[in-house]
Amino acid sequence: MVVTGAASGIGKAIAVMAGAQGANVVVADMNDEGGQATVSEIVGAGGKAEFHKVNLTDRDSINAFAASVLASVGAVDILINGAGWDLMERFLDSKPETWDTVIAINYTGPVHLCHHFAPGMVEKGKGKIVSIASDAGRIGSPSEAVYSGAKGGIISFTKTLARELARYGVNVNCVSPGPTRTALYYAQSESVQQNLAKVIPMRRVGEPEEVAMAVLFFASGESDYITGQTLSVSGGMAMVN
């Protein structure tokens, strides 16, 4: 199993929980120290994991990462596109350089990874691809215009890829978190954090582990007849038909 963004937040929760369930986890991130810490936690609990560095804003880094993983563990059964990043600001105050980074990490990076790892799944006749979208990509979110667009793109990309790969036994799905206790959440002011909880029917934000459980459901055999779907994990914030 490859998990990007596994040095912290939701990605780390996925990697640690997957390791505890017996998965051989490739911990992928651009943060060496955080990535190695995740590996240590998994291995310390009796699991199997190794760290591979990747920068999703750099195509050469992605290519080198994919080659390294394929050489180390062979064809990948499960790809979790867990990395994500945003800079919250009004769209009219934002800059193209920020757009490029947001789009690369949240959209084009995962697209490149799918292009690298899906062929091995097709050849084996089985595989799971799960991407972390966002309810921002389903209903919009103030101060996250480009991020919302990138996450909406991942949702649409997932649907089309699911249609193309279903005949080969490869399932492609999304998990769409609402506000969750990650670095992005804590980067906001305390008043914004409190207001976020107020707009959620359950009156609290999510925990990374709650999102991870939904991801691992899509990565498991329990979801073999589910593909092209987006599951919101947001305390009822987004109720989309």
| Banded pLDDT at 237 (limits 50, 70, 90) | confident
Nearest in space to 216 (alpha carbons), one of 185, 187, 173: 173
pLDDT of residue 131: 98
Instruction: Please state the φ and ψ torsions of residue 228, each to the nearest 5 degrees.
Output: 75, 20
pLDDT above 90: residue 231: yes
For 14, 81, 153, 197, 238, the CA distances from 54, given in Å and listed in that order, are 17, 12, 22, 33, 32
For residues 190 and 79, which has the higher predicted lDDT (pLDDT)? 79
What predicted TM-score, i.e. pTM, was given to this entire model? 0.95
CATH numbers and ranges of domains, the chain:
2-178+208-233 (3.40.50.720)
Q: Which pLDDT does position 188 carry in this prediction? A: 75
pLDDT tens digits for range 53-86: 999 999 999 999 999 999 999 999 999 999 999 9
Residues forming the active site: 147
Q: Which of 184, 234, 190 is closest to 211 using CA atoms? A: 234
205: which DSSP letter?
Answer: P
Query: Across the strands, what pairs with 49?
Result: 25
* Phi, then psi, of 63 in degrees rounded to 5: -60, -45
Contact (CB, 8 A) for 102 and 147: yes
**Residue pLDDT, tens place only, 95-128:** 999 999 999 999 999 999 999 999 999 999 999 9
Burial of 201 (0-12, 13-18, 19+ CB in 10 A): exposed
Give me the residue label for tokens 């995740």.
38
DSSP annotation of 92: G
Rounded Cα distance, 20 and 45, in Å: 7
